[in-house]
Structure 1
Amino acid sequence: MSPIEHPRPARRRVLVAAAGLAGAAGLGGLAAFRAAAASRGLMLRTRAGLAFGTTVALTAAGADAARIEAALTDGFAAMRAIEAAASLFRPDSALSRLNRDGSLDRPDPHLVVLLRFALTRAAETAGAFDPTVQPLWPVWADAAARGARPEPVALRDVLGRIGWRRVRLEPDRVVLEPGTALTLNALIQGYAADCVMAAFRAHGIDDAFVDTGEFGAAGAHPDGTPWRLGLADPRDPAALTAVIAPFTGFAATSGDYNMHFSNDRADHHIFDPATGYSPGVLSAVTVTAPTGLLADGLSTACMVLGRDRGAQLVAGHAGCAVRFTDKPRPA
C-alpha cells in the first residue's frame, strides 16, 4: 500500500441539487432563483455557514421576509444545539465528554434521540450498523499516516471493545463499558436536516431546501416546479449518475469517497464492525426516506450489508428507497 496523499474530511455525500440552490452557480446564480421566487410573489433567502465539520446551506421561500429570517436563524440554532450534543468535532460536546468519562448523567435530549435510534438500528441489523466503531478510527488514521494498514493484532484488540451491547442507556444516564467509545457521525447530519425542517414548519415555511451535509426538501422550487436532486458519480463529482425527480422528504448518501485511508478507496471511514475493515463491494449508497435520520442510518447500514441484504433492510421501512453504486472494477 502506497502512502496516501492525506485523509481529507470532504463532504459526506454524493448528492448535488440538480434544480436547487446548491446548484445555483451552474443554473444562472442565486439572482435567478430570487427572480423565479419573486414571479410567484415570494421572497427567497439562503444562509450558509459551517457545521459538522463541513459547509451547510439553508434556503427558504415565503411571502414574509421577517418570518423567513426567523426560520433561518432557528434552523442554525438547531444545528448548533445538535453539535453541542453529539459532534465529535467539539471536545466539549456531550458525546465527547461521554467518550472521555465513560458515563454521562442527564444526557442532552438530542444525544438521547440519536443514541436510541443508533442502538435500534444496531439491533435491527445484527450489528452491521454499530455506533461503537469509534475506536477503529485512530488505529486506521495512525496506520495510514505511516502508509500502512493496521496490524491484524491491533484490529483484534480494538474489535474486543466494539459492540452496541456495551452501551447502557438508562432513563437519566448513559454508561459505556471500559474502552468503548461512540460515534454518531453516521446520523448527525440527517438528524440535523429533520430539526431544521421542523424549525421551518414552526414558522410556516412551505418551500425549503436544506443542505446539512444530507438533504431535505419541502414544497416547490422557486420557479414552482418540483425539487430535483442529482446524484453525482463518486469518482467524478462533475457527472450525474441519476436524478431523483420529484424530490421531497430527505436523502442521505454514504460512500467511500469522503474520508479514505488509501488512494484506491479500499480503506475508508465506514467500517464493518465484525472485521474492522471497510466493506469492499459498494462505492456509495443513497437512501431516500421520510426522515433524514432514517435515511442517514439506513445508507450507512447498507454500505456494510451490501446490495441484497441492504435492499431487504430498506424494503422493511415504509416510504424508503435505495440506490446502490458498485465499486469500480480494478483496471
Structure 2
Amino acid sequence: MAAPLNRRRFIGISAASAGLSLLPFGRTGFAEAHPVTWNGQALGASATLVIHHHDRSVAERLVERAVAEVARLERIFSLYREDSALVELNRVGALAAPSADLVELLKISQQVWAATGGAFDPTVQPLWMLYARHFSAAGADPAGPSHEQHHEALALVGFDKIRFSRDRVSFSRAGMALTFNGIAQGYITDRVVDLLRDGGIVSSLVDMGEIRTLGIKPDNTPWKVAVDGAPMGDDLSATLEVVDKAVATSSIEGFHFDAAGRFNHLLDPRSGATARQWKSMTVIAPDAAAADALSTAFNLMDADAITAIVRARSGIEVLAAGREKSLRL
C-alpha cells in the first residue's frame, strides 16, 4: 500500500465567531467567546480543529460531532487504514452494500470525470503504485517506468470500468484500484460544513486541506484566504475574498516520486504522464468536493479546456500559475 503523500493536511475549523454571529452585534457575549481545540489524526496526518463559540458546551459538542464524522468518513475513504471500505474494495475488487457516502462520492467523481474529459479519474491508483514501486527500487531508471509498464498500468485506468449502485461497487478488471486523494478532503469538508450549519452556525471557515466558508465573517466582511503559490507582482492576487464558497489549491510541488523532482503526484489518467504545465492551480467553487476535484483535473488541462469548463459551470473561478503564463478566470 502506498505511503501517505508528503504534503500538509491541516484540519482547522475556525467558526470564528461562528456561534457569536448568532448573537446581535454589540452584545457582551461577543467578547466572551471560548476556543475549543482538538488535535489528532485524520486522513493519515496530524489534524487540528478549533471552534470559537460564546457557549463553550455547545462548541465542545460540535467538536465531538465533527471529530466523529471525520473518523467515520476516514473509515470509508482512507487509503492508509487497513479497515477502510476503500482498502477492502481495492483488495477484493468488489464491495457489497457500500455506504451511502461512498456511492455519493462515486457519483460526484463520475460527473467531474465526464466534465473534464477524463482528466479527473479516481481509478488512477495503479499508475500511482507504478511510480511508487519504480522509484523505491534500488537503481531505478531516472527516466521513469518503461513504456510497457505504462501500458499495463493504463489498461487498469478508466472510470468507465467501474460499476456502482447502492447495492454494490465492482471493478471490471482485476488489478484496478481507486484513490480519493483528489476529492475526499473536499467531500469531508462539505460534510463538516453541513454539520456546523445543522448546529446553528451561520459564519465559519472550515479548512481540511481544502477550504470552505460558511456565510461571511461576523464583522460583515468576506473571509480572506491566502493562495499558496500565487505569483507576486502580476495580476494574480495572493489573497482571495470568499463568501459561501470553497477554495482548493493543488501543486506539482506537493509530492515527487524521484529525487530530481521530474515526476510528481499529479498523474494524467489518459496518458500516464505527470503534470507539467501549471505550477499551482487554485479553484473557487460552490462546494469543496468540486473545488478539490477540479483543482486536480485542471493541472492536467490546457488553458482553453479549463476556460470552456469554467464558462459552462456557474460559480467556478480559477487562478493558475504556469511555467510561462498565469491564468485567471
Measure how far apart 1:234 and its partner are.
7.5
The CA deviation at 1:42 is 3.5
SS at match of 2:238: strand
Query: What CA distance in whole angstroms lies between the structure 2 residues aligned with 1:143 and 1:234?
Result: 32
Give 3-state SS (helix, strand or coil) of 2:101's partner. helix
Q: Distance in 1 between matches of 2:31 and 2:307?
A: 40
Could you tell me which residue of structure 1 aligns to residue 115 of structure 2?
124
Q: Does 1:288 align with 2:279?
A: no
| 1:125-144 superposed matches below 5 A | 125-144=116-135
1:112 corresponds to 2:108: no
Structure 1 residues 20-59: aligned runs within 5 Å: 40-59=31-50
Q: 1:317 to 1:259 in 2, by over 3 A?
A: same
> Mean Cα displacement is larger for which, 194-203 or 41-50?
41-50
* Contact 2:215–2:243 under 8 Å retained in 1: no
Alpha-carbon offset, residue 62 of structure 1: 3.0
Aligned residue in 2 for 1:193: 189
Identity %: 32
- Larger CA deviation: 211-220 vs 288-297: 211-220
Q: Contact (CA 8 Å) 1:279, 1:304: kept in 2 or not?
A: yes
Q: In structure 1, list runs of 5 or more residues that go unmatched.
A: 1-5, 22-36
Change (3 A) 1:80 1:223: same
| Closer/same/farther in 2, CA of residues 325 and 60 from structure 1, 3 Å limit | same
Distance 1:246 1:133 in 2: 31
3-state DSSP of counterpart to 2:299: helix
Residue matched to 1:10: 7
Show CA shifts across 1:294-316 (max 9, x none).
11111111111132212322332
Equivalent position to 2:82, from 91, 116, 119: 91
Residue in 2 aligned with 1:102?
93
Say whether the 8 Å CA contact 1:68–1:203 is kept in structure 2.
Answer: no
> Residue 55 of structure 2 corresponds to which residue in structure 1?
64
For 1:155, the equivalent position in structure 2 comes to 150
TM-score by length of 2: 0.83
Counterpart of 1:3?
Answer: none
Judge conservation of contact 2:98–2:166 (CA < 8 Å) in 1.
no
How many residues get paired? 303
Q: Note closer, same or farther for the CA distance 1:12–1:77 as it changes in structure 2 (3 Å cut).
A: closer
Going from structure 1 to structure 2, the CA distance change for 1:289 and 1:71 (only over 3 Å counts) comes to: same
Question: CA-to-partner distance for each residue in 1:205-254, whole Å, 9 max, x for gaps?
Answer: 22322221111222445766432110122899xxx961002454211112
1:33 paired residue number: none
Q: Which amino acid aligns with 1:10?
A: R
Match of 1:24 in 2: none
**Deviates most, 202-211 or 212-221:** 212-221
2:20 aligned residue = none
Rounded Cα–Cα distance in structure 2 between residues aligned with 1:256 and 1:221: 32
Q: Give the distance between the partners of 2:133 and 2:166, measured in 1 at CA.
A: 37
Please give the root-mean-square deviation of Cα atoms over the aligned residues, in Å.
2.9
Higher relative contact order (CA 8 A, sep 6+): 1
Q: Any gaps of 5 or more consecutive residues in structure 2?
A: 15-27
**CA deviation digits over 1:47-104, x for unaligned, max 9?**
3332112333333333322111111211111111111111101121111101111111
Provide runs of 4+ in structure 1 moved above 6 Å.
none
Contact 1:115 1:184 (C-alpha < 8 Å) held by counterparts: no
Corresponding residue of 2:266 = 270
